[in-house]
Amino acid sequence: MDILTLSSNLNTYLTIGAFLFGMGVYGLVQHQTFIGMLISAELVLAGASVNFMAFGHFLAPDPTVGQIFALFIIGLAAAEAAIALSIIIAVYRNYRSIDVEDVAELKG
Amino acid sequence: MNPSLFSPEGLSGLLFLVMIALTVAGALLATNARRLIRAVAGLALCFVGVAGIYYFLNSPFLALMQILIYVGAVCITFVFAVMLAEPEEMQRVNKRNALVGPLSILVSGVMVWGLVALAAMTSWQKSPVRLNDGSLEKLGESLLGRYSMSFEMISIVLLVAIIGSLVLARAGRTK
């Protein structure tokens, strides 16, 4: 398989999607602030929508389904980011910190 | 078939490799940056790469929406949150176990390896019929025809999200 014809191969897109998902999971553990974890969650969502777009383009009988699913993922991710950021700002106002270790009031 | 580098197919293949490199570099920057604002910049870079990948999947509309919504709106909202919450990342001491870093690399590496191996081993069945060509016109028809209920639902979700984030961010303010 030639490296310049990668874009016509389904497995290329599935590998990109899996890589984005894995980087998102790694970042969720690695980041120590709420905003960093939210950024990693966006990476996971991007990996999922790359997979949907690839299956919709290569395999599905109706190629619009993958695009519609990716559009809905974009809309839901925007709503999620807006709500999560306002929660983070409310947390910052109460704790003066967005570090995940500092918000541990209920820890036994 | 092996296109030469300077034929149109070869150049588009090269552009695809550039888009993959942008995505990978952006994802690495978003997860490994020490300062939060650099992580947001890495996220924007990664989304530009993903938009290019959507273009190669025969969907320029989704590529434009990705740039407009993710790079233009979501990343800017992140920048605002970083500026409002101003995390002091520099003077933070590392309070966590030293095993967390290597273990997280191991776990996510195993996940990626499993997904890629699964994708490579499966023999994907192409659908024998193609109902349409997936153009923007057909996308609009099925968005307002067959999937109109989901379309209305997502607009309600967005409305609730707007009101909810306003209420949440306003609570606790004195003036």
- Tell me if B100 is assigned to some domain: no
- Tell me if B105 is assigned to some domain: no
A97 reaches B (C-beta below 8 A): yes
What is the distance between the alpha carbons of residues A67 and A49, in angstroms, rounded to a whole number?
Answer: 9
Q: How far is B109 from chain A (nearest CA, A)?
A: 7
Range of the domain at A14: 3-95
- Tell me if A23 is assigned to some domain: yes
| pLDDT value at residue B99 | 79
Q: Which residues of B touch A88 (CB under 8 A)?
A: 81, 85
For chain A, how long is the longest CA-to-CA vector?
57
User: For residue B90, with 0-12 CB atoms within 10 Å meaning exposed, 13-18 middle and 19 or more buried, which class applies?
Assistant: exposed
Q: Which residues of A touch B125 (CB under 8 A)?
A: 59
Q: Tell me what the pLDDT averaged over chain B comes to.
A: 86
Q: How far is A67 from chain B (nearest CA, A)?
A: 7
- Tell me if A56 is assigned to some domain: yes
Q: What is the ipTM of this complex?
A: 0.90
Confidence of residue A2 (pLDDT cuts 50, 70, 90): confident
A13-51 pLDDT, tens digit per residue, is 999 999 999 999 999 988 888 889 999 999 999 999 999
Range of the domain at B45: 1-89
Q: How far is A34 from chain B (nearest CA, A)?
A: 10
Shared domain for B139 and B78, answered yes or no, is no
Confidence of residue B125 (pLDDT cuts 50, 70, 90): confident
DSSP state of A103: -
What is the distance between the alpha carbons of residues B148 and B155, in angstroms, rounded to a whole number?
Answer: 11
User: Could you give the C-alpha distances from A52 to A55, A56, A89, B51, B92, in angstroms and in order?
Assistant: 5, 6, 33, 14, 39
A48-104 pLDDT, tens digit per residue, is 999 999 999 888 888 889 999 999 999 999 999 999 999 888 888 888 777 877 777
Confidence of residue B87 (pLDDT cuts 50, 70, 90): low
Residue B171 has pLDDT above 80, yes or no: no
A9 reaches B (C-beta below 8 A): no
Shared domain for B81 and B165, answered yes or no, is no
Confidence of residue B93 (pLDDT cuts 50, 70, 90): low
Are A22 and B57 within 8 A, CB to CB?
A: no
Confidence of residue B76 (pLDDT cuts 50, 70, 90): very high
| pLDDT value at residue A55 | 92
- Tell me if B26 is assigned to some domain: yes
Percent of chain B at pLDDT above 90?
46
